[in-house]
Structure 1
Amino acid sequence: MSKKCGKPFKFRIWVIALIITLITLRGSLSTPRSGELIVFCAGSLYVPLREVASLYSESHPGVNVIIEPSGSVEAVRKVTELKRRCDVLALADYRLILKYMIPKYASWAIAFATNRLVICYTDRSKYSRDVNSSNWFEILRREGVTYGFSNPNDDPCGYRVLTALALANFLYGREVLQELVVDKTNISVERRGGKLHIYVPPDLEIKTGKIRVRSKSVTLIALLEAGTLDYAFEYESVAIQHKLPHLELPPELNLGYPSLSRFYSKVVVHIMAGTAQERALTGAPIVYGITVPKTAVNLAGAMDFIKFLLSDRGRDVFKRCGQPFLSRFLYYGGVPGVLKR
């Protein structure tokens, strides 16, 4: 008798345990966790994300948002190669998520904000009173003038600068890219099929003191402010956030106009050229992207934070910081419905 009664009893216990487990799991996925939320981001996203995180923390006091900026390509490598914990990944080029993360390391991406390229300087920069949107490349060529950009292998701003300089070849009918970069580095270029293909080797070499290269573009600001660098190619948002005087490049070069996408596509930059990590990036308008890696620990918190970021409050922050949202977000892969607008 006891044996017959024992089986149903054990079964009921098992069912109850299962229900409790499911309820607990559901709660952990639907309720933002307390504790840490790790965000890897592009250097140019650090300022707006820091402000968004501050606003988010007001209504989520138990969540400690930790933001770690770097070049976007470097941020990807932290996840894919170094296997570091990351709950939210926000990059200066959404295409890096499509090329490096999906499908192995992430399932989806949202393209959400934009920017433009500019040239920053200070009142101590040589010829700062003379430089304008028509003669900037002539100023950079002058003896004693120094200029900088970020490493294309680490940071989208770097390969976008190469794209802009190559587009200047088409716009001005001059060998701008060759004179400012190719002749002074081990970067190479070839014309193929009506397009300029630029190859950036993994061991980037700078052969002149005129050029300064750093892993991410925002670190060049310190050199500008210290007076050891005359001009730096940056995003407009960085210039606004640091209150730096800057030169606006023509629409054909600043990569800020979707209507000029076809012209931008005349240039293809190959980062990490000659290695298994080589990727070809066709010139395109600047668009930022965000995702949650498959290895995210605080999944519920990541979803809730991104939902807040993409809200009107996040939109206001990004607009003030010079990185306006797209009029309509672009969705790639299986984007969770809670994040769609």
Structure 2
Amino acid sequence: MPDADSSVRRRAVLAGAATAMSGLAGCTRVLGYTGEGTSGAGDEDAAAGGAGGGGSEAVSMLAAGSLNNALENGLKPAVDATVEVEAHGSARVARLVADGQKDPDIVSVADVALFDSPLRPDWYTEFATNSVVVAYNADTEGGRRVADAGTEGWYRPLLAGAVSLGRTDPDLDPLGYRTLFALELATDHYGTEENLREAIPRTDQIYPETQLVSQFETGAIDAAFTYRNMAVERGYDYVELPPAVDLSDPARAEAYATADYELPTGKVVEGGLISYGSTLRHHSPATRAVFDAHVSGDYLTDFGFVIPDEYPRYTGDVPDAVAD
């Protein structure tokens, strides 16, 4: 493994709940409430807020798989309300809600384009960014090949078939189609003779987002296209990709948009800056407080996400109770 390549990073594993809690001092605390979450913000709020300390209102969240660890081990310990998290690939999250199969209080996805279609909320907020990296298992021969190749050559052992690779399903998950975008952009950036988007992906590489990085532990894969936060929070080695490829640079948004992917619904998603978005669907004091802690909490940086200075950034007809 190259020890001079600063683009190959090593991150210590987060040490349980204590470490996960280390950056939570700035998070909003949520008071306990009883009662059901509602779709309005009027008399129901007074009923929920005046119920006293007889229990805690359950707040349901349907979220991107890449947020799951941060929500379970960062957000939930920071609030007093009971938060019920269900995580899937973001495209599946959007379809579950759009089709009426799920009715969560809060929906959070890894691509705000999903709020244009199939979801069409009146408003949403962007609250964090990320980047695509190639994580690898330093204990396997294939993983060491990726490490040795570094930022300028990580794709070569993948092309040679010398690495068992993992990725997520582009039909279910933004990470899946962002992997394809990164490969297409890498073809242009490195000037390769082969089209990397066509040459590298195979169907046997696909794993659910919530299980992808855990495949290192089973020895099923040597390397994986993943989000930076997923590698950081699990302490895995990874190769950082150039800004022209990793979808993290706001100044390169136009170049990213040259790549696209058509979902099974017929919607075409374009490449762009990775931006996580969330909307609150059912209003009560407890759901609003959990939402505020979710999109404003410092806990996100502890789990490898990046929060630009202008975030959280709101779009659409934001309710006064949320804006306040």
TM-score by length of 1: 0.75
The equivalent residue for 2:7 is: none
- Any idea what SS the aligned residue of 2:181 has? helix
- Any idea what SS the aligned residue of 2:150 has? coil
Q: Is the 8 A contact 1:122 1:128 kept in 2?
A: no
> CA deviation digits over 1:269-309, x for unaligned, max 9?
1111xxxx22111110100000023xx3x644222211222
Distance 1:310 1:29 in 2: 22
Question: What letter matches 2:273 in structure 1?
Answer: P
Change in CA separation of 1:108 and 1:172 when aligned onto 2, cut-off 3 Å: same
Change in CA separation of 1:27 and 1:212 when aligned onto 2, cut-off 3 Å: same
The equivalent residue for 1:180 is: 200
2:305 aligned to 305, 320, 323, which one?
A: 323
1:284 corresponds to 2:267:
no
Question: What letter matches 1:333 in structure 2?
Answer: G
* Bigger radius of gyration among the two: 1
Distance 2:42 2:269 in 1: 45
1:213 corresponds to 2:206:
yes
Q: Is the 8 A contact 1:109 1:289 kept in 2?
A: yes
Question: What letter matches 1:27 in structure 2?
Answer: A
The equivalent residue for 1:10 is: none
1:116 corresponds to 2:116:
no
Distance 1:303 1:128 in 2: 44
The equivalent residue for 1:36 is: 58
Alpha-carbon offset, residue 131 of structure 1: 2.5
Distance 2:274 2:217 in 1: 26
Aligned counterparts, 1:1-341, within 5 A: 24-28=43-47, 34-50=56-72, 51-57=74-80, 63-102=81-120, 106-125=121-140, 126=142, 127-174=145-192, 175-181=195-201, 184=202, 206=203, 211-216=204-209, 218-272=210-264, 277-293=265-281, 296=282, 299-311=284-296, 314=297, 316-328=298-310, 329-340=312-323
> CA deviation digits over 1:147-188, x for unaligned, max 9?
12110111110111111111112212222112113xx4xxxx
Q: Select between 163-172 and 136-145 the one with higher mean Cα deviation.
A: 136-145
Change in CA separation of 1:330 and 1:129 when aligned onto 2, cut-off 3 Å: closer
- Any idea what SS the aligned residue of 2:78 has? helix
Q: Is the 8 A contact 1:31 1:300 kept in 2?
A: no
Question: What letter matches 2:119 in structure 1?
Answer: M
- Any idea what SS the aligned residue of 2:63 has? strand
Change in CA separation of 1:128 and 1:154 when aligned onto 2, cut-off 3 Å: same
Change in CA separation of 1:37 and 1:252 when aligned onto 2, cut-off 3 Å: same
The equivalent residue for 1:4 is: none
Question: What letter matches 1:85 in structure 2?
Answer: D
Alpha-carbon offset, residue 128 of structure 1: 4.4
Structure 1 runs (4+) deviating above 6 angstroms are 29-33
Distance 2:49 2:293 in 1: 15
Q: Is the 8 A contact 2:57 2:286 kept in 1?
A: no
Distance 2:242 2:168 in 1: 20
- Any idea what SS the aligned residue of 1:86 has? coil
Residue segments in structure 1 that go unaligned for 5+ positions in a row = 1-21, 58-62, 185-205
Q: Select between 148-157 and 166-175 the one with higher mean Cα deviation.
A: 166-175
Cα RMSD (Å): 2.2
Going by fraction, where is strand more abundant, 1 or 2?
Answer: 1
Q: Is the 8 A contact 1:255 1:264 kept in 2?
A: yes
Q: Give the % identical residues.
A: 25
> CA deviation digits over 1:112-133, x for unaligned, max 9?
1100110011122312452311
Q: Is the 8 A contact 2:288 2:322 kept in 1?
A: yes
TM-score by length of 2: 0.78
- Any idea what SS the aligned residue of 2:111 has? coil
